[in-house]
Amino acid sequence: MNLHALLISPFSYEFMRRALFSAVLLGVSGGLIGCVLVLRRLALMGDALSHSLLPGVAAAWYFFGTSTTALFFGGLAAGLLTALGSALLSRMTRVKEDAAFGSLFIVFFAAGVALVSKLPSRINLADFLFGNVLGVSAGELRLATAVSVLTVLVFVLFYRSVLLETFDPVFHRATGGRGGLVHMGFLTLTVLNLVAAMQTMGIVLALGLFLLPAVSAYLWCDRFLTMLLLSVAFAVVDSALGIVLSFHAGLASGAAIVLCLGVVFVVSALFSPRHGALGALKLGTERRPAA
Amino acid sequence: MPEDQDIISFQGVTVRYGRVTALEDVTFNIPCGSSTAVLGGNGAGKSTLLRAVMGWQRLAAGEIRIGDEHPHHARPRLAYVPQRHSVDWDFPITVRGVVEQGRYPALRLFRRLAKSDHDQVNAAMEELGIAHLADRQIRMLSGGQQQRVFLARAVAQGGDIFLLDEPFAGLDLFGSEELTHILRGWAVQGRTVLAAVHDLGIARSCFTRGVLLKTRLVAVGLIDDVLSPINIDSAYRGGRCVHEGHTHAAGHGEARP
């Protein structure tokens, strides 16, 4: 098999081009979002958030069919309900925020699975969960484009606020920053990206496209801007590779993309000279000085 | 007496969190150009007082004026230095990157740092003796150096009133001495410093004035007058809250008469 057949010919199909564009666009925004998730230690919360989209999407499907708009708003509503619900729950009861999030999302996810099993049989639960390149419609590509452009714009325009709120929220507030607003805006942006990534990545795996490139970049970089750019680069390249892999190997596209990102992550974690495991072993010292 | 322009005044300041009263009917003035330690046990209202000066805390009663302004309008004069352990020092950012943050509030949206901003950043790093560390990632610094990065960021803001939340927390002996030296220098330069401090020995050696709190105001004035045995006893041990008094008497050698 030559290079052309390997890399170029898959994209003679319309659906493959759409899947590629959608994955690459969401790689750009996912790479950005992921950096903030990693640095603010919101990784697991993001995971919970992505699972909680399922009932919204399933309900939208049940009532409105395959309309992109309906799926989008269904997912958005479910995601925001989980985020706000757990914030309220942790303020008004004894339950802490992580437990509140964990409890709410699992209930939402169960409701979603239950709903999907009641849907007409032509809909496959696996597509929801793990992604299906065949599924990207023109409407969904437009949605991915809009969400990606919006995310990039927010990061470019509010770069300093994002940096301050991520690094030192107290100082951000002391200098007149609207921390709560930035945080809520960020959560909303995360949900938007998760919903848009659902077709290619699937609900269970979507967060991989955000998290893995960011963690990998984190292992190489000592500057925030460099980390953002490297994370985007990892996400874009591996999304494209993953789409190709899923075509040739007949894999679920979400799984293929996450596996490609996983390779980068494992290599980074082992071989990054300053922050990787082997580097620490070679130096013979613990990386982290005692506090 | 200093003019109105040059004092931070607290008039009957009361702050409540739900049913808990953190500060009650606190009235005093701080002359600008002095360095003042805010003292008291845990829950005595030290941090609350600083937060109130920043204008973060809705006052249940009373008023705080900075010069003749409400704290919200005095923000350009204020530089806040958070506790050192409140940030993740593994964050991918260099010393220069952190100090540059001091210039962010003065920048308009879409504007980049101008030459004058860079000059201020460099001057702040020079002043705190961290210019040679400018390109280091912040984990690669000692505790004292990390504290100086935070101070440089505050200096780069260009305000004249510095609010420090437990600046000595977690510093080793050398780091504390270094910081004492810096803060004494600031006092000589006429910068206003208001710092929450736990250690009474450090408070004596580093600050000229003190405010001793126990929800209510216990004492205010020159540091040696404030830290008289009687005042210490009533701030750290007296009163109704017996269980708190015990903790603090155990934690501070100086608290014993």
On chain A, the residues whose CB falls within 8 A of the CB of B113 are none
Exposed/middle/buried for B96, CB within 10 Å: 0-12, 13-18, 19+?
buried
> Which whole-number Å values give the CA distances from B214 to B152, B220, B248, in the listed order?
32, 12, 12
Number of C-beta neighbours around residue B40 at 10 A: 23
Q: Does B93 touch chain A (CB under 8 A)?
A: yes
Structural domain containing residue A190: 3-283
pLDDT value of residue B123: 94
> Which residues is B20 bridged to in the sheet?
B17
Read off the CATH number of the domain in which B204 is found. 3.40.50.300
Look at residue A165 in the predicted model and tell me its pLDDT: 92
Write the residue in A167, A173, A222 that is nearest to B56 by C-beta: A173
Q: Is residue A291 domain-resident? A: no
Residue A289: inside a domain: no
**Residue B62 structural domain:** 4-255
Instruction: Decide if B54 touches A, using CB distance below 8 A.
Output: yes
Of chain A residues 189-218, which have a CB less than 8 A from chain B? 218
B141 touching A (Cβ < 8 Å): no
Rounded to whole angstroms, the Cα distance separating A42 from B247 reads 35
Helix (H, G, I), strand (E, B) or coil at B219: strand
Interface check A226 vs B, CB under 8 A: yes
Residue A286 has pLDDT above 90, yes or no: no
Q: What is the ipTM of this complex?
A: 0.85
- Whole-number Å distance between alpha carbons of B233 and A2: 85
Contact call for B92 and A171, based on CB within 8 A: no
A289 or B81: which leads in pLDDT: B81
Residue A131 has what DSSP assignment?
-
Question: A77 or B251: which carries more pLDDT confidence?
Answer: A77
Whether pLDDT at B243 is above 60:
no
CATH number at residue A15: 1.10.3470.10
What is the predicted pLDDT for the residue at B5?
Answer: 63
Write the residue in B85, B92, B105 that is nearest to A175 by C-beta: B105
The pLDDT of A259-282, averaged and rounded, is: 89
Contact B213, B45 (CB under 8 A): yes
Number of structural domains (chain A) is: 1
* Contact call for B101 and A167, based on CB within 8 A: yes
Taking only residues 27 to 56 of chain A, the set having a beta carbon closer than 8 angstroms to any beta carbon of chain B reads: 39
Q: Please tell me the distance from the alpha carbon of residue A31 to that of residue B205, in angstroms, as a whole number.
A: 50
d(CA A253, CA A225): 29
Q: Could you give the 3-state DSSP secondary structure of residue B25?
A: strand
C-beta atoms of B56 and A160 within 8 A? no
Contact B92 A157 (CB under 8 A): no
Indicate whether A43 belongs to any domain.
yes
B86, B104, B139 member nearest A175 (Cβ): B104
pLDDT tens figures, A88-135: 888 888 888 888 888 999 999 999 888 888 877 656 677 777 777 677
For residue B111, pLDDT beyond 90:
no
Domain count, chain B: 1
| Residue of B87, B91, B155 to mutate, interface with A, max A Cβ within 10 Å | B91
Residues of A in contact with B91 (CB under 8 A): 39, 166-167, 224
User: Testing the interface with A: which of B78, B83, B93 to mutate, by most A Cβ within 10 A?
Assistant: B93
pLDDT at A23 over 50: yes
The reply to whether B80 touches chain A by the CB within 8 Å rule is yes
Stretch A68-91: mean pLDDT, rounded?
85
